[in-house]
A and B are shown apart, each in its own frame.
Chain A
Amino acid sequence: MLAELPGIERIRKRFVDMLAERQTQIASHGLAAWDATTVEEIKGNLASAQAILHQIAGSAGSLGFEELGRMARNCETQIVEHLAGPTANRAECPIEIISELDGFVAKCRQEIDAHA
């Protein structure tokens, strides 16, 4: 059904082009959250990463990148739950989130390389 869409290849290409920039942004927000020493910095960087993950999770599946979309959603859910949870006001970023983001960024690079 997806293949029937006349402009789907053009949108997939645009998605991959944007993914290069988005994964860089996610990685830098993740690193900044990990290095941060204040609650505000950690929360701010995680929220910024979550907003980008949210966009990828919303469109990747429709473009045939189901695994990438699922991983984006998992990362996003972890961040949302952390920010709404009891440990959100600690000045430390959970290692589990950074680890999940690391796996996601690696997957992004695979997809970008595969479509280069």
Chain B
Amino acid sequence: MRILAVDDDPIILELLGQFVEIIGAHELTTAPSALHAVDMLGDPNLGPVDCFMLDIQMPGMDGIELAQHIRNSSRHADTPILMLTAMSDKRYIDGAFAAGATDYVTKPFEIAELKSRIGLVEGMVKERQQRTKKIFAAKTVADQATHMELFEPVPIYDVDNVIDYTAMENYVAQLSRSALFGSTAFAFAIREVDAFHATMTSFEFYSLVSDVAEILSDTLVDHQVLMSYAGNGTFVCVTESGWRPNMGGLMDAVNFELSQTELFDNYGERVYPRVSAGEAVRLIWKSGNSVMDALAQAHASAESASVAHTRSLNDFWQNDQQA
């Protein structure tokens, strides 16, 4: 795996060189500043980069701006980004994830932690290499033959505050190590998503999910929310801002925006997606796995609400016919 590490401290770059050497067969390339890294990334002779490691606090351009720059390039839209964070950088972690970070490693480094993080990234790189064609198929109108699984948590690109599902899991894991007092997890599920999936091409389905993501992002824009597509038409969201979401009101707001947005399939037929909202699960006094369980609880409750909504409609029509 080829890693590009960016840090303004030459000691950190030297240490990373040593650590990466003993961890495994990886190649480390370094840049002493974010601006230097931008120049390197613009060089066609740079060659492929499989993983980025970015310091957060750097003079000129910081690591969060650099992460945004990396994510804006189609070449590295889903290349894993590990942020190198010191204790005092914790206040920037949310911004780093929102900018596209996949995970973070704490400074000063411990070999075991670094090894574990790089191992996870290596697994992601291999997995992504296998599904790269599939993702590009979803992004390219020309090739619609590749199948996108209903339960696949595909990355959604270019929507503010929407992060990769793996990054969301890492983000929630870091929440478990910090104050959870003001944090809440909640989720939305696209109703009858299986019907959309069954009748649409991969491109159409991906576009539908992206459009719903955009409307959710717009609706939640004032509340410091990070969200992620978890597959099966479900979006999981986490806010750390202390905001207590009113799920009924939010669901109505999202569905109102969906009703005002004209969405079409490839045949020019209008499609009418609507969402159901699950319960808002507060993360206070949870830690470790129970934080992950809370995310799963929010996720499951949105899917249950979606199923219950569909069932209630079916029951309504059956009762109507019997009457």
B15 at the A/B interface (Cβ < 8 Å)?
yes
B110 nearest CB neighbor, chain A only: A62
What A residues does B86 contact at CB under 8 A?
A: 54, 57-58, 73
What B residues does A8 contact at CB under 8 A?
A: 18
B9 nearest CB neighbor, chain A only: A55
Task: A78 to B112: give the CA distance in the assembly, Å.
Answer: 30
B107 nearest CB neighbor, chain A only: A58
Please state if A54 and B15 are interface contacts (CB–CB under 8 Å). no
Choice from A5, A69, A77 contacting B18 with Cβ under 8 Å: A5
What B residues does A77 contact at CB under 8 A?
A: 87-88
B108 at the A/B interface (Cβ < 8 Å)?
yes
Task: A57 to B86: give the CA distance in the assembly, Å.
Answer: 8
Please state if B108 and A4 are interface contacts (CB–CB under 8 Å). no
What B residues does A11 contact at CB under 8 A?
A: 11, 14-15, 18
What B residues does A4 contact at CB under 8 A?
A: 22
Task: A8 to B10: give the CA distance in the assembly, Å.
Answer: 14
Please state if B88 and A18 are interface contacts (CB–CB under 8 Å). no
A1 at the A/B interface (Cβ < 8 Å)?
yes
| CB contact under 8 A between A57 and B87, given known A4-B22, A5-B19, A62-B109 | yes
Interface residues of A in 4-31 (CB under 8 A from B): 4-8, 11, 14-15, 18
A61 at the A/B interface (Cβ < 8 Å)?
yes
Interface residues of B in 3-31 (CB under 8 A from A): 8-12, 14-15, 17-19, 21-22
Choice from A14, A61, A73, A76 contacting B14 with Cβ under 8 Å: A14
Interface residues of B in 34-59 (CB under 8 A from A): 55, 57, 59
Task: A69 to B12: give the CA distance in the assembly, Å.
Answer: 13
What A residues does B18 contact at CB under 8 A?
A: 5-8, 11
Task: A66 to B187: give the CA distance in the assembly, Å.
Answer: 43
Main secondary structure on chain A at its contact with chain B?
helix
A106 at the A/B interface (Cβ < 8 Å)?
no
What B residues does A18 contact at CB under 8 A?
A: 10-11
Choice from A2, A5, A7, A62 contacting B107 with Cβ under 8 Å: A62
Nearest-neighbour CB distance to chain A for B89, whole angstroms, equals 8
Please state if B57 and A7 are interface contacts (CB–CB under 8 Å). no
What A residues does B19 contact at CB under 8 A?
A: 5
Count chain B CB atoms within 10 A of each CB in A4, A15, A59 and give the residue with the most. A59
Interface residues of A in 40-77 (CB under 8 A from B): 51, 54-55, 57-63, 69, 73, 76-77
B111 at the A/B interface (Cβ < 8 Å)?
yes
Task: A59 to B8: give the CA distance in the assembly, Å.
Answer: 12
A69 nearest CB neighbor, chain B only: B108
Nearest-neighbour CB distance to chain A for B14, whole angstroms, equals 5
Please state if B57 and A54 are interface contacts (CB–CB under 8 Å). yes
B19 nearest CB neighbor, chain A only: A5
Task: A73 to B106: give the CA distance in the assembly, Å.
Answer: 13
Choice from B12, B59, B107 contacting A51 with Cβ under 8 Å: B59
A39 at the A/B interface (Cβ < 8 Å)?
no
What A residues does B9 contact at CB under 8 A?
A: 55, 58-59
Please state if B57 and A59 are interface contacts (CB–CB under 8 Å). no
Please state if B87 and A1 are interface contacts (CB–CB under 8 Å). no
Q: A60-B108, A61-B108 are in contact. List 12 more A-B contacts (CB 8 A).
A: A1-B112, A5-B18, A6-B18, A7-B18, A14-B11, A55-B9, A57-B88, A58-B84, A59-B9, A62-B110, A63-B108, A77-B87
A-B contact pairs, 8 of them (CB 8 A): A5-B19, A7-B14, A11-B14, A54-B57, A54-B86, A58-B12, A59-B9, A59-B15
Question: Could you tell me which B residues sit within 8 Å of A by CB distance?
Answer: 8-12, 14-15, 17-19, 21-22, 55, 57, 59, 84, 86-88, 107-112
| 9 closest cross-chain pairs (CB), A and B | A61-B108, A58-B107, A62-B108, A55-B9, A5-B18, A59-B11, A58-B86, A62-B109, A11-B14
